[in-house]
Structure 1
Amino acid sequence: MSKAYIIEVHNRTAGIVAGDERGFTFFSSDRAFDRLDGRDFRSAREAERAARAVLGGRQTSTHSPS
């Protein structure tokens, strides 16, 4: 069964991550995060950290998994 989570950074929807048994793939919804589009991550949290790093911020997302 796949899982999907919205990733938000500084009140911007960066994209979603869709996960399966191999990990999570990032799908960008904002041009600022396009460099992450299609990239695979071990966890949704790792994808969220990468999205935060794109903007250089450390604000906690309100719509991603713990």
Structure 2
Amino acid sequence: MQPARIVEVGETSAGIVVPETDGFRFFSAHPDFHTLEGQVFRSPRHATRAAQDLHARRRGRRLAS
């Protein structure tokens, strides 16, 4: 089984993914990524992409305000 991995977005540690039978479960380490808490991803790469997408959406909303 693969080890847990850190998910980073830029210089921010978004959280970690822990391997499970069905994929990798995300545990947030930063409040901006709490909405991903507990979700299961197919791979650490998929979790990283989800965190990057979430970050981009939030940043877009801040810039639009």
Q: TM-score, structure 1 length as denominator?
A: 0.79
| Structure 1 unmatched ranges of 5 or more | 58-66
Question: Number of aligned pairs?
Answer: 57
Alignment match, 1:17: 17
Matched AA of 2:39: R
Matched, 1:3 2:3: yes
Q: For 2:11 and 2:54, how far apart are their aligned partners in 1?
A: 14
Q: Tell me which structure has the larger Cα radius of gyration.
A: 2
Residue pair 1:5, 1:16 contacting (<8 A) in 2 also: yes
Structure with more relative contact order (C-alpha pairs < 8 Å, separation 6 or more): 1
Q: Secondary structure at the match of 1:56?
A: helix
2:46 is paired with a residue whose SS is helix
With normalisation by structure 2, the TM-score equals 0.80
Structure number with higher helix proportion: 2
